[in-house]
Amino acid sequence: MLFELREYHCKPGRRDEFVALMEEVIIPLNVKAGAVVVASFVGESDDDTYIWIRRFDNEEHRARLYEEIYQSDFWKTEIAPKTGEMLDRSLHRITRLNPTPRSVIR
């Protein structure tokens, strides 16, 4: 089992719009493909931060979902252009995590 913590920084004034896209389209798309979305957060004192965590069974599962989601025509033509307008990709931070034996998130 592995987790992926993704920290995004929205362009000024675009976070609410991005959160709506995440909750209405991107998270359901991930869940439909088989990912487990463990959490979705916004920064309490930072108006631009958005963080989400996905869980995968293993590396093969992650690679399959990446292929299914990010290589789809829907992602390339509908989602990627929208996220490009809302996010500052130069500030993205993606961290892969493995739970410790006592982690309550599994």
The residue ranges of DSSP E strands in 1-106, in sequence order, are 2-9, 36-42, 49-56, 93-97
CATH of domain 2-97: 3.30.70.100
Model pLDDT for residues 11-47, shown as the tens digit of each residue: 999 999 999 999 999 999 999 999 999 999 999 999 9
Kindly state the tokens that stand for 54. 């996905």
Mean pLDDT, all residues of the chain: 95
Q: What is the distance in angstroms between the CA of the first residue and the CA of the last residue of the chain?
A: 8
Q: Please state the φ and ψ torsions of residue 21, each to the nearest 5 degrees.
A: -65, -45
Q: What are the domain boundaries of the chain?
A: 2-97
